[in-house]
Amino acid sequence: MSRKYFGTDGVRGKVGEHPITPQFVMHLGYAAGKVLASAEHAQGERPGVLIGKDTRISGYMLESALEAGFIAAGIDVYLAGPIPTPAVAYLTRALRLQAGVVISASHNPFEDNGIKFFSGSGAKLPDNVELAIEAALDEPMQTNPSASLGKAKRIDDAAGRYIEFCKSTFPNEMNLRGLKIVVDSAHGAAYHIARHVFHELGAEVVAIGAEPDGLNINAGYGATKPQNLQKAVVEHKADIGIALDGDGDRLIMVDADGTLYDGDQSLYIIARQRHAEGALKGGVVGTLMTNLAFEHAMQHLGIPFVRAKVGDRYVMELLQQHDWQLGGENSGHIICLDKHSTGDGIISALQVLHALRMKRQTLAQAAGDLHMYPQILINVRVSKKADYVNHPAVKHALDTAEVMLDGKGRVLLRPSGTEPLLRVMVEGEDGAKVKLCAEKIAEAVRAAAA
């Protein structure tokens, strides 16, 4: 059965355009409620669902629509207000509810929004449940009799509970005293949470990107726009900078000099420390975009490494398949399954800080022996889907690149999942060769697509 609404990260789109309309979202809440209320999923109990959101102005409207749909289906609703996506996963599990729902479009601009579900265990919904919800959306809404409608309750201590949970993932015998940290919350869901976690562990915290107005989420701040963080770290003479995205599940870090460190570098610091402590279970999962230097570093340390498709959903699938605990993406999604059931920017930052404290190193020192290879990404607009890899001109350019890189680089052609683009990625030890190869392959793709 093909999906009509659910993508790799829930249902997402532009607010006011199908499917992100109050009418559809209310129906989505109702359909999800009916699936969750079935004997198979609720096991005869009255189901409860937690709803959290980021700071987009449209969150008020969509929250009300979801609430109405769930209540019409006989589901009790627990409203957590603005909290990070991983906080919803945690609270759903902690409160023993049937599901959690996040209203967020992550790092996208405020005009977008989305609906993402978590199971009662705090993991993303299984495919069969998402498909069952899609099937239920084809049925008309039929509000339950008044006596069997759901009720709504606000969770007043949601932020406090999650702050304590994050702190619990950091060693009890360790603190962050003596560190000055700039924390950038992207004017998003962690604006009233992230700073408190690091401050309560002993750090001096400078908060930026922590004044949401409903329209400024991800605007000039956060993991996808780290320039203000880099500037603030230098200006405040801080030791480290931490940037989250709008829903708090992505991490980018900055050292005292304002140098950026991506998800690959943070994942390397965590993996190396756990390996040294004998605490790394199995290996590490990356993605097709993980820097080749990371793969080589894992080989050098004797740590098994595999690549998943791009997307934290696929990283999670491979972690579960191998029964491993650690994985992530260069974009900053890092999953530590021994700490949380999903990716979490704050908890990932704490794992990096734990490693720095253990080795008594700065961020620059800890990442210094991972020499990232130059990586060029060129997006080529294509008018149609085609097998460009086997097109004669493209194949010739690929073969030429392989010879030039001489086993010291990597080429990847990947179609975009949302736009008519083919992404040409080349990386390797020699930056000049990488740039030339990427340009030649992109030129061949343009010619083939013409």
Active site residues: 106
Q: At residue 46, what is the residue type?
A: R
As separate numbers, helices (DSSP H) first and strands (DSSP E) second, the chain gives: 15, 18
Residues with Cβ within 8 Å of residue 97, at least 6 apart in sequence: 47, 48, 49, 50, 78, 91, 120
Q: Which residue has the tokens 């013409």?
A: 450
Give exposure, 255-292, as e/b (b: 16+ Cβ within 10 Å).
bbebeebbbbbbbbbbbbbbbeeeebeebbbbbbbbbb
The span from the CA of 176 to the CA of 200, in Å, is: 9
Tell me what percent of the chain is helix, strand and coil, each rounded to the nearest 5: 40, 20, 40
- How far, CA to CA in Å, does 59 sit from each of 15, 43, 46, 107, 114? 10, 31, 26, 15, 9
Angle between helices 158-168 and 85-94 (to 10 degrees): 90
